[in-house]
Amino acid sequence: MVGGWSPAAADRTTASEEETQAVARELAATLKPGDVLLLAGDLGAGKTTFVKGLAAGLGIDPGDVSSPTFTLLHEYRGGRLTLYHADLYRLDKTATDDLGLDETGVRDGVLAIEWPDRLSHDLAGARVIRLDVVDDVSRRITIDPKPPPTND
């Protein structure tokens, strides 16, 4: 059922962890430096699984990707683009001001953020990917359309 993803809004239901990663791999092929993906969804919805798929699609070993609960920002190099992976679960809103997530260093790669509702301010050009639990093995994935380019 993977295939046919377009830069426009997309809504997919996957029936396994592997399918979720396949959707992410496909999206990864379209990513450009500076792209920011906000991964919204409850604990166990598949956010980290999705990031593993992004890694695979960028040519990074998905086995390198773990949930960076204690390290706020992980950095995976060696792929087509550097993948930055943040998990803000343990932060409260005020703490995110100092993270520097929108500083220039991240602009050479792609930034994927779990628990983006913890962000205290919007990140330019960020795109929401929502994962919802359907049942034990199924997840609905809603991908926002790509926002228009910004002059920042």
Q: Contact positions toward ligand ADP, by CB under 6 A?
A: 14, 16-17, 19-20, 41, 43-49, 67, 114, 137-139
21 binds Mg ion (CB under 5 A): no
48 binds Mg ion (CB under 5 A): yes
Q: Which does 41 bind (CB under 5 to 8 A by kind): ligand ADP, Mg ion, none?
A: ligand ADP
67 binds Mg ion (CB under 5 A): yes
Alpha helices in the chain (DSSP H): 17-28, 47-58
Q: Which residues pair with 16 in a beta bridge?
A: none
Question: Using an 8 Å Cβ cutoff, are 117 and 128 in contact?
Answer: no
Q: Which residues pair with 128 in a beta bridge?
A: 38
Part of the chain binding Mg ion (CB under 5 A), chosen from 45-53, 70-78, 101-109, 116-124: 45-53
We find the least distance from the C-beta atom of residue 3 to ligand ADP, in angstroms, to be 17
Query: Binding to Mg ion (CB under 5 A): which residues in 103-142?
Result: 114
Distance CA(20)–CA(27), nearest Å, equals: 11
Helix/strand number for the chain, H first, E second = 2, 7
DSSP string, 68-129: -SSSSEEEE-SSSSEEEEEE-TT--GGGGGGG-TTSGGGGGEEEEEESGGG-SSPPTTEEEE
We find the least distance from the C-beta atom of residue 149 to ligand ADP, in angstroms, to be 29
Q: Which does 44 bind (CB under 5 to 8 A by kind): ligand ADP, Mg ion, none?
A: ligand ADP
Pick from 12, 25, 47, 85: which binds Mg ion (CB under 5 A)? Answer: 47
> Site residues (CB under 5 A) for Mg ion?
47-48, 67, 114
